[in-house]
Structure 1
Amino acid sequence: MTRRKSRLTGEEALNEAFDSVDHVPLLESLGVELDRDLLILALTHRSFANENGTLPNNERLEFLGDAVLGLSVANKLYELHPSRPESDISKMRASIVSRYGLADVAREIDLGKFILLGKGELLTEGRGKDSILADTTEALLGAVFRQHGFETARGVVLRLFADKLAHATARGIHQDWKTTLQEELAHRKRPMAEYVASSEGPDHDQVFTALATVEGEEMGRGVGPNKKLAEQEAAHQAYRKLREKRA
């Protein structure tokens, strides 16, 4: 009689999931070494932690990384634009450190495949969600700060965000991705995108999911605390997919 293999939980599940991926490319992208335990913590999303015995997650490191990122970007913009008013460089900073800006950088280093996610997030394509990618990027910066200090962490920020810093504008905090998508579709002589949104959870803590479709084809999926933000994320994903098709 064959015995069924028991499901791993807790630290065993964490180590097995972490060891299933080669993290050398990620560390090369960051340009620094990180201790194993610190790297595991930075990559552990709360969904994985909660499904495996309430393990520690990366939210505390995310808190640190947000501060390191904000100061590093603000100081660099201050140096790059000595004649611009505070209102302009403030908008530039907000655009760069926004969820969309962080998610773009995360995709450039292929961060999604390294994140430790619970089954629910994996089923809803969590590795591609802007919010998860952005939060994990901040957690990694927090980990770099904890191990190497501010100067090294600042160097990582300036390297990863070099292109965004060089091309920063004062257009605003968030790009209107629905408008951007529609302009791209019009240029291709394709019909307008359609959006369908749903929500789950109690009234005070709802999570919205939006789908962006074009001629019946699902082009993007977004998740957010309200319908508007979910649709914006869906439009962003759809726009990226269109651009990839053109490339």
Structure 2
Amino acid sequence: MTDRLGHRFEKPELLQQALRHRSAGSPHNERLEFLGDALVNLVIAEALYQRWPKADEGTLTRARASLVRESSLAELARRLELGARLELGPGEMKSGGHRRDSILADAVEAVIGAIHLDAGFETCREVVLGWFEPGLAELPTGKAEKDPKTRLQEWLQARQFPRPNYRLLETTGDDHARVFHVACETAEPPLKEQAEASSLRAAEQLAAERVLATLEKK
């Protein structure tokens, strides 16, 4: 686990807490998640600022968002094999919480917070940049892909098709762990895709991304 993370914890209890979901009891990872969220945004913002000296604020913001959005963090968690190490309550275990994007993304942020508390900001930045280097390298220099909702709308408008419609199907989970289930529908061509995430906006973006993937296959 240490080799995959790229950091050996002097205080292993911090890593243990970072991987403990609220459903498994206290001390859980929500405070570490709060800290890690701020840290990952800072580290990636700084990296983009230094690498893209001519990029404007909008480009930098879109690039950062593409790297630290929930689906990207969840994919990083899978590469780090965090899912198998999560400590979940019985309910979350039965519902497959170790595979859920929202829980995996939160765990990544919590681990980042834990590394910062264990070894300081410089070490934390070095580790985080190592994790994100493949994603940073894949971004076109000085450019960032628009978010899926914007790209879907532009794809449809370019063909004079109606705008997509987003519907909230249901909201599940406790107050501290809401999951939003959303559908994205297009009238022409007629398509419908669903997605879930820990925020309404993230769910809509993921649903739009799935519609775009279907359109591209056609």
Do both share a fold (TM > 0.5)? yes
State the Cα distance separating 1:118 from its structure 2 match.
1.2
How many residues end up aligned between the 2 structures? 190
Structure whose CA Rg is larger: 1
Any stretches of 5+ residues in structure 1 without a counterpart?
A: 1-23, 50-54, 180-194, 213-218, 243-247
Percent of residue pairs identical: 39
State the Cα distance separating 1:67 from its structure 2 match.
1.8
2:92 counterpart letter in structure 1: E
Distance verdict in 2 for CA 1:123–1:63, change over 3 Å:
same
Q: Secondary structure of the equivalent of 1:161?
A: helix
State the Cα distance separating 1:162 from its structure 2 match.
0.4
1:222 counterpart letter in structure 2: E
Whole-angstrom distance in 2 between the partners of 1:162 and 1:170: 15
Tell me, yes or no, if the aligned pair for 1:88 and 1:170 is still in contact at 8 Å: yes
Distance verdict in 2 for CA 1:118–1:150, change over 3 Å:
same
Check if 1:31 corresponds to 2:6: yes
Instruction: Tell me the equivalent position of 1:95.
Output: 66
| Among 222, 231, 246, the residue aligned to 2:196 | 222
Whole-angstrom distance in 2 between the partners of 1:93 and 1:150: 19
Larger relative contact order, structure 1 or 2 (CA cutoff 8 Å, min sep 6): 2
Q: How does 1:63-74 map to 2 (within 5 A)?
A: 63-74=34-45
Instruction: Tell me the equivalent position of 2:120.
Output: 149
Q: Secondary structure of the equivalent of 1:113?
A: helix
Cα deviation code 1:33-90 (max 9, x no counterpart): 11221111111111111xxxxx111111111111221111111111111111122112
Q: How does 1:64-143 map to 2 (within 5 A)?
A: 64-143=35-114
1:116 counterpart letter in structure 2: E
Moved over 3 A (4+): 195-203, 205-212, 223-226, 228-240
**More deviation in 135-144 or 125-134?**
125-134
Distance verdict in 2 for CA 1:238–1:87, change over 3 Å:
closer
CA RMSD of aligned residues (A): 3.5
Q: Secondary structure of the equivalent of 2:148?
A: coil
Whole-angstrom distance in 2 between the partners of 1:133 and 1:239: 24
Any stretches of 5+ residues in structure 2 without a counterpart?
A: 153-166, 185-192
- Please, what TM-score do these two structures have when normalized by structure 2? 0.72
Distance verdict in 2 for CA 1:37–1:224, change over 3 Å:
closer
| Among 16, 19, 22, the residue aligned to 1:40 | 16
Distance verdict in 2 for CA 1:235–1:46, change over 3 Å:
farther
Whole-angstrom distance in 2 between the partners of 1:237 and 1:123: 26
Cα deviation code 1:189-246 (max 9, x no counterpart): xxxxxx994434799x96434699xxxxxx98634444x7446547878999x9xxxx
